[in-house]
Structure 1
Amino acid sequence: MLYGLLKYVLLGPLLRLLWPTRVTGADNIPEHGGAILASNHLAVADSFFMPVRVKRRVTFPAKREYFTGRGFKGLLKKWFFTGVGQIPIDRSGGSAAQAALDTAIRLLREGHLLGIYPEGTRSPDGRLYKGKTGVARIALEAGVPVIPVAMIGTDKVNPIGSKMWRPRRLEIRFGEPLDFSRYEGLSGDRFVERSITDEIMYALMELSGQEYVDIYAARAKELMAAEEAGVRPQVPSQPSGAEADRVPQTKVG
């Protein structure tokens, strides 16, 4: 009920009025059943503009801190993020990472639409970065299609570090569903999961027109910060361990 109130009565109409958005390919989203909406990630605003333009409810697992604040402000934040379809996820450790995957898989098996940002964090410069293989693991375990989603212009509405959203026309492109049923039973195979993830990222590159960079966005941010500080970046140049590659970003921000 709260989700419907925000989407159809409060937040949705306001976003539609102030930020006219061209939507293409919306008919690629199934009317029923679970599916992953795998999107590029340019701004915090992505998680608000995209669900408003989808007829069905879209769920984005979000970091638990959004739901545990104290006082009136904390209560208001919890109410808001619950109302826009977020669910809390504890991502503080290894078991928490698995919990995030398990929650995503459960939601999909229950027939929900799940929003995921395979890059793991917002792009620091508008380019498209290497995807984490968690999106592949989730798709294989849940047995659902992956629909690539390209957000165009949200980084101009909501630049990194900005507190006010700026008026601008936007575009959202929903690509054709990607079917990975040919890999059924191969969940956990890191080569298969990397191949699937790369296929998703290629579809996003084609759909968005972004330049692709074959490193993780988090690493790119580290390199940029080191350059600004005049510090030589440390090796390794990529995150190590299965968890660093496996868990995609599903939060707002």
Structure 2
Amino acid sequence: MFYWLMKNLIAGPLLRGIFRPWVVGLDNVPASGAVILASNHLSFIDSIFLPIVVDRHVSFLAKSDYFTRRGLKGWATRAFMNATGQLPIDRSGGKASEASLNTGLAVLARGEILGIYPEGTRSPDGKLYRGRTGVARMILEAGVPVVPVAMVDTAEIMPIGRRIPRVGRIGIIIGEPLDFSRFEGMEGDRFILRSVTDEIMYALHALGSQEYVDVYASTVKEKRAALADPASTPPVAVPSQSAPAAPEARPAR
């Protein structure tokens, strides 16, 4: 109920009036049934504006740190995350990854919309990075369609490190659903998981204007942190940049 009030009567109308988001392809989001919205990730506000423009309830998996902060600021952050449909997950890996998978599957089992960022973290520089295969496993286990979404200019409005967003206009481009039913029962095959993930990243690259880099965004962040630390070992060079291979270009299995 609180989510509905925030989205439809309080925060939603206010944010739409201030930032005037433009949307292309909204009719590509199914009117009912479980579906995954797979989006690029440029800014913290991606998880706010995408649910605002979609008529249905959208749940995003958010890092658990947002829900465990202390003090008044921590309470406000936690309340905001709950009000906007965010679900806490532990990104430490291992058993935590399994729990995160189950959290997402529970949302889909209820026939709802789950928002996912295949890159796993925000882009450090506005480029599109290699997708994590966890999203592919969730897709195949749930047997649901995937709708690619390109967020536009959200990093200009609220870049990493900025606490208050600038006033400006953002865009959202929603692509046609992707069907991976041909891989049913193959969620244990790592090559299939990579193929599915790459197809999603190809769709995201085709929707937007981001430059693609075939490394993980988290790796780039780690290398930048190492550069900032004089005692650390200098990072190796980032591999050459190219768009993810088109699905039809992959060798048949």
Higher relative contact order, chain-length normalized (CA < 8 Å, sep 6+): 1
Shift of 1:227: 3.6
Distance 1:225-1:90 versus aligned 2 partners, 3 A rule: closer
State the shift of 1:163 in Å.
1.5
Q: Unmatched 5+ residue regions in structure 1?
A: 239-253
Matches of 1:122 and 1:15, distance apart in 2: 21
Q: Does 1:41 align with 2:41?
A: yes
- Matched letter for residue 151 of structure 1: M
Is residue 17 from structure 1 mapped to residue 17 from structure 2 by the alignment?
Answer: yes
Q: Hey, what's the Cα distance between the residues in 2 that align with 1:37 and 1:203?
A: 12
Q: Which residue of 1 aligns with 2:219?
A: 219
1:225 is displaced (CA, Å) by 3.0
- Give distance in 2, aligned partners of 1:22 and 1:31: 20
CA contact (8 A) 2:129 2:213 kept: yes
**CA drift at 1:138:** 0.4
- Asked whether the 8 Å contact 2:223–2:235 carries over to 1, the reply is no
Q: Which amino acid aligns with 1:185?
A: G
Q: What secondary structure, in the 3-state scheme, does the structure 2 residue paired with 1:52 have? A: helix
Give, in whole Å, the separation in 1 of the partners of 2:117 and 2:190.
19
> How many Å separate the matches in 2 of 1:224 and 1:78?
29
Output the amino acid matched with 1:171: G
The superposition leaves residues 73-106 of structure 1 with CA deviations (integer Å, 9 ceiling, x where unpaired) of 4333322211100122233441111000011112
Q: Once the two structures are aligned, what percentage of the paired residues are identical? A: 56
1:111 aligns with 111
Helix, strand or coil: the match of 1:123? coil
Q: Which amino acid in structure 2 is aligned with residue 124 of structure 1?
A: P
Q: State the Cα distance separating 1:234 from its structure 2 match.
A: 5.5
Provide the C-alpha distance between the structure 2 equivalents of 1:218 and 1:72, rounded to a whole number of angstroms.
30
Determine the structure 2 residue equivalent to 1:50: 50
**Equivalence for 2:122:** 122
Give the aligned residue type for 1:80: F
**Offset at 1:5?**
1.2
Question: Size of the alignment, in residue pairs?
Answer: 238
Contact map agreement 2:26 2:174 (CA 8 A) in 1: yes
Q: Secondary structure at the match of 1:74?
A: helix
CA shift, 1:54, in A, is 0.4
Q: Which amino acid aligns with 1:35?
A: V
Q: 1:157 to 1:202 in 2, by over 3 A?
A: same
Aligned to 1:206: 206
Q: Is residue 143 from structure 1 mapped to residue 157 from structure 2 by the alignment?
A: no
Gap change, CA 1:200 and 1:6, over 3 Å in 2: same
Q: Which amino acid aligns with 2:154?
A: T
Q: CA deviation at 1:71?
A: 4.7
Work out the CA distance in 2 between the residues paired with 1:45 and 1:216: 21
- Tell me the amino acid that sits aligned with residue 127 of structure 1: K
Deviations 1:193-222 (A, max 9, x none): 000000000000000121110000011112
Inter-CA distance 124–74: structure 2 relative to 1 (3 Å threshold): closer
The code of the aligned residue for 1:213 comes to V
Question: How big is each residue's C-alpha offset from its partner over 1:173-207, in whole Å with a ceiling of 9 and x where there is no partner?
Answer: 00000000000010110000000000000000000
Mapped to 2, the partners of 1:227 and 1:90 lie a distance apart of: 27
Once the 2 structures are TM-superposed, how far is the Cα of residue 21 of structure 1 from its aligned partner? 1.2
Structure 1 position 224, deviation (Å): 2.6
Alignment of 1:38-187 (within 5 A): 38-187=38-187
Whole-Å separation in 2 of the counterparts to 1:178 and 1:147: 6
Structure 2 unaligned regions, length at least 5: 240-253
Give the stretch that moved more between structures: 67-76 or 216-225: 67-76
1:76 match: secondary structure: helix
Report the 3-state secondary structure (helix = DSSP H, G, I; strand = E; otherwise coil) of the residue aligned with 1:3: helix
Question: Matches of 2:60 and 2:13 in 1, distance apart?
Answer: 20
Shift of 1:112: 1.0
* TM-score for both structures, normalised by structure 2: 0.88
